[in-house]
């Protein structure tokens, strides 16, 4: 695994992995963690680490004593506003920590590391979709809940029904997140 940055808190390590630095063994370990943490989506994660097979631009991998205990993937999406402005945004997916390692600050550290890297790569905004009970987990870290509707589309340009339906955004600089309904398109939309 190619490591571009590394930090350590407690006994675990958090690394930034480029996609071409993730070999099949690490891929399998990350998918196993995703299946444990998101059993309702295990059919997706048995096949691939991200939704719609969109390759991550980077992945945060947390490990402890050689075991994979945390994961965050970052993919690029294009969003369009009412006025047809388009932005490439960093979309965060698969935030998870193994059950026995929770409540020790690992997800908080991974989110901070992810946002620093996203900012370093020049993005103005990050987005994610979460379940309602986790909204405060993200707002505590500076994320905001989108007031307006957010629509995602499949490859046939039809709206996708989203089960994790709290859309959140993070402003990485001084530019405010666009107001009004947002279209986040299909992942491969260009």
Ligand X SMILES: CC(C)(COP(=O)(O)OP(=O)(O)OC[C@H]1O[C@@H](n2cnc3c(N)ncnc32)[C@H](O)[C@@H]1OP(=O)(O)O)[C@@H](O)C(=O)NCCC(=O)NCCS
- Considering beta carbons, is residue 78 or 104 the nearer one to ligand X? 104
Angle at CA of residue 166, ends 165 and 172, nearest 5° = 135
- Considering beta carbons, is residue 20 or 40 the nearer one to ligand X? 40
Task: Tell the smallest beta-carbon distance from residue 73 to ligand X (Å).
Answer: 11
The Cβ of residue 102 has, within 10 Å, a number of other Cβ atoms equal to: 14
Task: Tell the smallest beta-carbon distance from residue 86 to ligand X (Å).
Answer: 25
Number of residues that bind ligand X (CB under 6 A): 16
Integer Cα distance of 134 and 149 in angstroms: 19
- Contacts of residue 28, defined as CB under 8 A and 6 or more positions apart, other chains included, come to none
User: What residues between 132 and 151 interact with ligand X by CB under 6 A?
Assistant: 133-134, 137
User: What residues between 80 and 109 interact with ligand X by CB under 6 A?
Assistant: 95-97, 102-108
Binding string, residues 36-75; x marks residues near ligand X by CB under 6 A: -xx-------------------------------------
Q: What is the DSSP string of 26-71?
A: HHHHHHHHHHHH-GGGHHHHTT-SSGGGPPPSEEEEEEETTEEEEE
- Say whether residue 163 binds ligand X (CB under 6 A): no
Integer Cα distance of 87 and 97 in angstroms: 30
Quote the tokens at residue 55.
């390759």
Task: Tell the smallest beta-carbon distance from residue 12 to ligand X (Å).
Answer: 10
Enumerate binding residues for ligand X (CB under 6 A). Answer: 37-38, 95-97, 102-108, 130, 133-134, 137
């Amino acid at each position: 695994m190619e490591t571009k940055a590394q930090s350590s808190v407690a006994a675990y390590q958090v690394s930034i992995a480029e996609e071409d630095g993730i070999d099949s063994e690490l891929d399998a370990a990350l998918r196993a963690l995703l299946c444990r943490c998101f059993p309702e989506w295990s059919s997706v994660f048995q096949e691939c680490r991200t939704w719609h097979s969109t390759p991550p631009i980077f992945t945060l991998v947390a490990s402890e004593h050689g075991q994979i205990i945390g994961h965050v993937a970052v993919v690029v999406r294009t969003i369009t506003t009412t006025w047809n402005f388009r932005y490439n945004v960093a979309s965060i997916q698969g935030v998870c920590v193994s059950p026995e390692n929770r409540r020790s600050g690992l997800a908080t550290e991974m989110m901070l590391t992810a946002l620093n890297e996203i900012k370093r790569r020049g993005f103005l905004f990050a987005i994610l979709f979460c379940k309602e009970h986790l909204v405060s987990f993200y707002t505590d870290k500076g994320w905001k809940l989108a007031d307006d509707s957010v629509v995602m589309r499949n490859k046939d340009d039809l709206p996708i029904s989203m089960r994790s339906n709290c859309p959140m955004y993070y402003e990485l600089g001084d530019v405010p997140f666009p107001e009004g309904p947002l279209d986040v398109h299909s992942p491969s939309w260009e």
